[in-house]
Chains A and B, each alone.
Chain A
Amino acid sequence: MIQVENLTVRYGGVTSLDGLSLVFEKGTCGLIGPNGAGKTTFFNVLSGFVRPASGSVRAFGEDLLALPHFRRARWGVRRTFQTEQAIEELSVYDNVAMMSSPLRGAARRADVLGAIEFAGVGAPPLARVGTLSAGQRRLVELARAVAGRPRLILLDEPAAGLPDEETAHLAAVIKAIPEYTGALTILVDHDMSLVSAVCETTAVLDFGRLIASGPTAAVLRDSRVMRAYLGTAEVL
């Protein structure tokens, strides 16, 4: 469980997160909102790239903001990026093995290979990532995110730019993450079919504030969400 209270982030005069308070319980949770709503900023705060002006984040009882960013991965925070960040010159295996892990030796190797098989990368572990397709690289990133006993997995638009059949595979993998790792997974995506297929609960941000949260289907029908996201309220 992750508990966010009164989180505020400012970039100069821009308030990106404005006193955000929300709770994600377990499983796979969606986080949606129009561009500039503060979704990626929220991820950046959790992974330590951005220091908030105020507020607190407690994840499984730990004060996350007190940890330096490279410690958070050791603790169990994982994230992927909007633009895929698989390391081209390394093999699939090394890309996943670079993730900080409490495991050592054979157990660690097994964990890394298990993650690669779980993500269904579809390339041999020693293949160079530079030779893989865009979809496969996304899966390498996903494998990296589930390796090393994660506790909190943040997926930032993992399906961006993927064709439909690859998105379907990705959805199946993301859906299986909580069962495979036991980690709380937060998914940011603009693909509503992916979000509703994968997430039991969803929270919606707009201008750095929480405007709705709850079961995904109900949230997506919420009139405030429609207004913020689709701009339909004015039309109707």
Chain B
Amino acid sequence: MTVETKGGAAATAAAQRLRLLRRPQRPAHLAVVVVFAAFALFALPPLMSLYYTGYMTLVAIYSIVTLGLGLLVGRTGLYSLGQGAVLQIGAWTGARLLFATSQPFPVVVIEAGLVTMGIGTVIGLPALRLRGLYLALITLMLAGAVTVALATVNFPNGGGGFTGYNGTSVHIPPIRRPSIAGTDPAYYRYAVVVALLMFALVYAHLRTRPGRAWAAIRQSEPAALAAGINTTFYKLWAWSLASFITGVAGAMLAGQARYLYSINFSTQDSIILLAVALMGGVYNLWGAVIGALLMQLLPAILQNLGVSYAWLTILFGLGVLQVLTTAPAGIADQFPKDARRLGGLLTRLARARRPGPPRPPAAPPGTPPQAPSRGEAT
């Protein structure tokens, strides 16, 4: 072919250029992640009371759940209202395996993820033929069904048989934790590391072929099909990956709670999960962390202050309304913008206040010293 000889040399040079470009990619971004991870792992534990350590462990665990939900909603446009149920399946499987076997904790966590992935995929196969509202409805019904089923079966608490329920809820053994993370602060660190690994797993997907496929599917399914992307396969892949990491989070939750009761899980959790994921921001991985903070840390703070939990439901309702109307990309996207805008405003205010060389067309005394915003200027 003439093609190769013609464009070959130039294309190779271009490929080398790109490889050079690719290595540092976003060094500032990476630095922020490293600082954040180091802060969460080393600086935070000594500062926190046992109360907040427990809740921050939940934040780390739930950030994996909101990460999975963000993957579904933000990357592929699949609205799931059943992630709470998927989490319950993971928790049940993790607890059952931890009681039944003496396998190392990380192995059980991965197994729970895989079992949940299997169940999630089987459910996903028919569900993915639906989209939008119908998929949301089906998954919500699933969440209800799983909650009811697990309320009947009960969570394992050291009994025998398939269910592992010993018929009583007193004098039961706790679910075991990894030997290196027996204490609450150590388990918190363990959970943060697991969360970081899950974020890395999802990030690796987003940076490569599946990420491209998901982005294409979300914006234009015809374009994805025309590019030879098997859309059903990639949707199912997103669904399976979200199920896997949510299952991992479930097993981590079992180790955190130590005693699991079906009364602690409700169908409503699934709806709250979607709400906080949307508020945090589904197009950005930071959104998952913010969503988890909203879901787990905010109630803890309010409880500490003696504020009723009911206020939170109202707050989340308002938050979702705000996301739908003004900030579709959530807090993760809105906060930096607002911070920048606020910074700009403060600098302008400071400049206006400073008694430096007076600017000739001084504003009349009545008007606020506020320059037109960036949008109006253009």
Q: Interface SS of chain B: helix, strand, loop or mixed?
A: helix
Given B2, B216, B228, which contacts A87 in the complex, CB threshold below 8 Å?
B216
Whether A72 sits at the interface, judged by CB under 8 Å, is yes
Q: Mark A171-199, 1 if CB is under 8 A from B, else 0.
A: 00000000111100000000000000000
Bound-state Cα–Cα, A88 to B219, Å: 8
Question: Are B220 and A85 in contact (CB-based, < 8 A)?
Answer: yes
Interface residues of A in 23-37 (CB under 8 A from B): none
Is B324 an interface position by the 8 A CB rule?
no
Q: Does B18 contact A (CB under 8 A)?
A: yes
Known: A47-B226, A49-B222, A87-B220. A70 touches B231 (CB 8 A): yes
Query: Taking the complex as formed, is B227 at the interface, i.e. its CB lies under 8 A from any CB of chain A?
Result: yes
Contact residues of A: prevailing secondary structure: helix
Establish whether residues B229 and A126, one from each chain, have CB atoms under 8 Å apart when the complex forms.
no
Q: A85-B220, A89-B219, A125-B18 are in contact. Are A70 and B7 (CB under 8 A)?
A: no
Contact partners of B1 in chain A: CB under 8 A = 182
- Complex Cα distance A171/B7, Å? 20
How many residue pairs at the A-B interface have CB separations less than 8 Å? 101
The yes or no answer to B10 lying at the interface (CB within 8 A) is yes
CB nearest to B22 among chain A residues: A126
User: Chain A interface (Cβ within 8 Å of chain B)?
Assistant: 47-49, 69-74, 77-79, 81, 85-90, 93-94, 97-100, 106, 109-111, 113-114, 116-118, 125-126, 144, 179-182
A180 close to B3 (CB less than 8 A): yes
CB-CB nearest in chain B for A144? B227
Q: In the complex, which residues of chain B have a beta carbon less than 8 angstroms from the beta carbon of A90?
A: 212, 215-216
Which of A78, A179, A181 is within 8 Å of B226, CB to CB?
Answer: A78
Inter-chain contact A109/B15, CB cutoff 8 Å: yes
Chain A residues with CB under 8 Å of B213's CB are 98
Nearest opposing residue in chain B for A126, CB measure: B21
- Ranked nearest first, the 4 interchain pairs of A and B with the lowest CB-CB distance are A73-B228, A100-B228, A114-B11, A85-B223
Chain B CB within 10 A, most for which of A70, A79, A88, A181 = A70
CB of B313 within 8 Å of the partner chain: no
Residue in B1, B14, B21 with the greatest tally of chain A CB atoms within 10 Å? B14
Complexed CA–CA distance, A90 and B2 (Å): 31
Q: Which B residues are CB-close (under 8 A) to A72?
A: 228
Q: Is the CB of B12 within 8 A of A110?
A: yes
Contact with A along B51-83 (1 / 0, CB 8 A): 000000000000000000000000000000000
